[in-house]
Amino acid sequence: MRPRTTLLSSILLMCFACAPAFAQTRGPAPGSPDAVIRGFYKWYVHALNQNSDPFTKQRTMLRRYVTERLIQEIDKVAKGPDGLDGDYFIDAQDWDKDWEKNIAVSSVVASKTSVSAQITLSGGTMSRKLRVTLKQERGAWKIDKVEGLDD
């Protein structure tokens, strides 16, 4: 190999080796569980802040983030004799408008078939901690379960 070719090969090899480290500093990869959670809650709380019910009025967007199994389960409970006692995705009846911009994802745990994470929605008047479980559906991570956590 000529010296110029060796130098160019070395530079390219270093670029490829460092690419994952640079990508991680930009935030979650599109389509990653972290990105799905953040994207969902930003969209969802924004819709709530606009006095829109995202579960009933924006089903197409909801299906982008939530498994069909969970949508059907929530529909079934909502139509049942007791209905829903609060909003399933925030596990509460009230929310803080600032949650839209204050979403923290932590304690991410992956298994072979699912990923779970703790999220904290922080605001000026209240905060909420949730455990969110995602599963793969048609090749994309989607929310399949939400549980409220005691503060």
- Contact by Cβ (8 Å): 90, 47: no
State the amino acid at position 130 in one-letter form: L
- In the chain, where are the structural domains located? 30-148
This prediction has a pTM of: 0.78
CB-side exposure of 88: number of CA atoms within 13 Å? 21
Convert the pLDDT of each residue in 69-81 to its tens digit.
999 999 999 888 8
Q: Give the residue from 79, 39, 80 showing the smallest Cα distance to 62.
A: 39
Return the DSSP state at 107: E
CB-side exposure of 67: number of CA atoms within 13 Å? 18
Q: Coil, helix or strand for 139?
A: coil
- Contact by Cβ (8 Å): 40, 32: no
Convert the pLDDT of each residue in 12-67 to its tens digit.
444 444 444 444 444 556 689 999 999 999 999 999 999 998 988 999 999 999 99
CATH class of 30-148: alpha beta
What's the confidence (pLDDT) of residue 80? 86
Q: Give the residue from 88, 48, 46, 83 showing the smallest Cα distance to 66.
A: 88
- Contact by Cβ (8 Å): 94, 87: no
What is the rounded radius of gyration, in angstroms, for the C-alpha atoms of the chain?
Answer: 20
